[in-house]
A and B are shown apart, each in its own frame.
Chain A
Amino acid sequence: DAGVIQSPRHEVTEMGQEVTLRCKPISGHNSLFWYRQTMMRGLELLIYFNNNVPIDDSGMPEDRFSAKMPNASFSTLKIQPSEPRDSAVYFCASSLNRGNYGYTFGSGTRLTVV
C-alpha cells in the first residue's frame, strides 16, 4: 500500500487566491482527518469524516475553509480566499474507525501564503 497520499507537497500562493489541498486515504480506511500544524499552535484537528460524511468540523477556523469527501478514495481541503496566517503544514490521516487503531498520516502539504 502506498500509504496516505497528499498533493501538492508544497504550495506557494498569493493572498486572496484559492488553494485546494488533496488527499487519498489508504484503501479500506473509512475515517479521514485533516490537521494543520504551526509552530505556535502545534497540531490542530480541523475536520474529520466517517464513511465520507463530515462528523465534526468544529476545528475549521472560519468560513474560508471547506472540506469535501466525494468518495471513499478522495478528499479536498479548500481555502478561499487564502491569507498569510493560513501558512502551515496541512496533514491528512486515515484509519479504520472500528476498534482502536491508530491513524496513518500523509507527508503533508506545506502551504505558504504571501
Chain B
Amino acid sequence: DAKTTQPPSMDCAEGRAANLPCNHSTISGNEYVYWYRQIHSQGPQYIIHGLKNNETNEMASLIITEDRKSSTLILPHATLRDTAVYYCIVRATDSWGKFQFGAGTQVVVTP
C-alpha cells in the first residue's frame, strides 16, 4: 500500500472548519483513501473513505484531488470533542483488510 504524509500537528478554533491535508503521491489506481481518528485513551474510530470522488457523511467531508495524489479531510464545524490524532491511510482493495497506521496529525481544537 502507498505511503502517506501528514503534518504532525495543527490547531483549530472551535466552530471553525478544520482542513486536514494528506499527501499520497504514490497512490495506485486500486487504492482507497481512509481516515480514522483516535481520541485520547480510546480506540481508533473510522471516519470516512473514498476512491476518487469527494465523499461526505455526518462526521466529515473528504476531498480528493483529480490526480489522487493528495486529499483533505474537512471537519466543517470543529468542536472540542474533535481533539484527536487523525490518521490518513491508503489501502488497496485486495489488501485483505489490513490497515497500517502512521503517526497521524494531532489536532487540537481550542475554545
Contact = CB atoms under 8 A, between A and B. Distances in A.
Interface of A: 4, 31, 33, 35, 42-43, 45, 48, 50, 55-56, 91, 93, 95, 97, 100, 102-108
Contact of B46 (A43, A45, A102): A102
A103 B42 contact: no
SS class of chain A's interface: helix, strand, loop or mixed? strand
Given A45-B100, A91-B43, 15 more contacts: A31-B97, A33-B97, A42-B102, A43-B44, A43-B101, A45-B99, A50-B96, A50-B97, A56-B96, A102-B34, A102-B46, A103-B46, A103-B99, A105-B43, A108-B43
B97 A97 contact: yes
A106 B43 contact: yes
What class of interface size applies to chain B in its complex with A? 10 to 19
Nearest to B89: A102
B101 A42 contact: yes
Contacts of A45: 98-100
A102 B36 contact: yes
Nearest to B104: A42
21 contacts: A31-B97, A35-B101, A43-B44, A43-B101, A45-B98, A48-B96, A48-B97, A48-B98, A50-B97, A56-B98, A91-B43, A93-B43, A97-B97, A102-B34, A102-B36, A103-B36, A103-B44, A103-B99, A104-B46, A107-B43, A108-B42
